[in-house]
Amino acid sequence: MSKKLIELNHISKSFDNTLVLDELDLYIRENEFVTLLGPSGCGKTTLLRIIGGFEKPDIGSVFFDGMDITMLPPNHRQVNTVFQKYALFTHMTIAENIAFGLRIKKKSDAYIKDKIKYALDLVNLPGFENRMPDSLSGGQQQRIAIARAIVNEPKVLLLDEPLGALDLKLRQEMQYELIRLKNELGITFIYVTHDQEEALTMSDTIVVMNQGYIQQIGTPECIYNEPENAFVADFIGESNIIDGVMLEDRLVEIGGQKFACVDTGFEKNEPVDVVIRPEDVELGEPEGGQTEGTVTSIIFKGVHWEIQVESIIGITFMAQTTQHFPVGKRVGISIIPDNFQIMHKPQSEDEEKLIEE
């Protein structure tokens, strides 16, 4: 396992008496693609700016490769940042934009020329040296912004919602480009987004944030399949989040009906949150289900149908299926034990507030 490169210890930050980060702890390893994911105002961009040196924490320390860099200015850190608005110099050619940081470092002309060619080849834009930024598409400008950052050979590349201004198809293409770049460069990427698909597609590790706290850290598969609370389950993909009672190990009650599950370690008759992903809700003939319901709405999503079913136990289920069930049809509803995710209810008002959206 690669070593820890960045450590954030007890980081707190406020703006105008509003607490944005609250005693946050996090470490990031070498060559890792880490995504800070959460809704607007959750503190993810502030955290990125603290890592980059653009903001100072009110409390806490930032360590880079074992050295305390909390008070070090951005230009003295082995970090480069790519912003959503690219920040290209419109009066400079592409070559001049890429060379800007290298000229400040007083590198030789031969070195700069080699680096420009290397960077443009890396982002698949060879021959663009003499073009002006306003002649480029949004995706091409984004690649130049990345090229300008990587020629400085940072150990860490910070990306603050860099694909937010691109259309869907181009955004998806750039996601794969970023994965390729990360693998080829062998450096650490720290990526900020509120887009769950981006996080799931690109990340080695996802840090889910809300209201200045870290809600969960894990691989995309872990975050999606094993959310630790209702906020994570609701924010990452679609979810049915239902009030239930854990009657005993491996047996949960929903809407007065008992369902087998695989979860253990709960108190008997403990109130719980039950999370069921829509793709795990199986629909069929009424007599074949664990319970029944009536289809109340259906939306075609391209690869599947998104179907709402009002069940006889008083719960509305969202299902995703490749089968078509028209509105008004009576259906059976089944969920296998492995597809229930049972979570403890918040234990206090503070904890409830923490996981509220």
Residue range of the domain that includes 152: 4-225
Q: How confident is the model at residue 352 (pLDDT cuts 50, 70, 90)?
A: low
Residue 231 lies in a domain: no
Question: How high is the mean pLDDT of the chain?
Answer: 92
What local confidence, expressed as pLDDT, does residue 351 receive?
A: 55
| CATH number of domain containing 148 | 3.40.50.300
- Inter-residue contact 274 to 292 (CB < 8 Å): no
If asked whether residues 264 and 140 sit together in one domain, one would say: no
Residue 308 lies in a domain: yes
If asked whether residues 259 and 178 sit together in one domain, one would say: no
What local confidence, expressed as pLDDT, does residue 168 receive?
A: 82
If asked whether residues 208 and 298 sit together in one domain, one would say: no
Residues paired with residue 342 on neighbouring β-strands, in sequence order: 274
Q: In what order do the strands lie in the sheet with 341-344?
A: 257-260, 251-254, 240-248, 270-276, 341-344
What CA–CA distance (Å, rounded) separates 172 from 166? 9
If asked whether residues 278 and 176 sit together in one domain, one would say: no
Q: How far is CA 119 from the centre of its chain?
A: 27
Report which of residues 2 and 279 the model is more confident about.
Answer: 279
Residue 120 lies in a domain: yes
If asked whether residues 196 and 244 sit together in one domain, one would say: no
What local confidence, expressed as pLDDT, does residue 48 receive?
A: 97
What are the tens digits of pLDDT across the range 206-220?
Answer: 999 999 999 999 999
| CATH number of domain containing 301 | 2.40.50.140
Q: Which of 203, 225, 247 is the last residue of a domain?
A: 225
What CA–CA distance (Å, rounded) separates 335 from 124? 47
pLDDT for residue 338 is more than 90: yes
pLDDT for residue 348 is more than 70: no
Question: What is the pairing mode between strands 291-300 and 330-334?
Answer: antiparallel
What local confidence, expressed as pLDDT, does residue 261 receive?
A: 97
What local confidence, expressed as pLDDT, does residue 354 receive?
A: 53
Residue 25 lies in a domain: yes
What are the tens digits of pLDDT across the range 310-323?
Answer: 999 999 999 999 99
pTM, two decimal places: 0.89
pLDDT, mean of residues 321-339: 97
Residue 230 lies in a domain: no
Residue 123 lies in a domain: yes
Q: How confident is the model at residue 357 (pLDDT cuts 50, 70, 90)?
A: very low
If asked whether residues 179 and 147 sit together in one domain, one would say: yes
What CA–CA distance (Å, rounded) separates 102 from 110? 11
Residue 255 lies in a domain: yes
pLDDT, mean of residues 242-271: 97
The total of structural domains in the chain comes to: 2
If asked whether residues 345 and 218 sit together in one domain, one would say: no
If asked whether residues 22 and 170 sit together in one domain, one would say: yes
Q: Which of 184, 202, 225 is the last residue of a domain?
A: 225
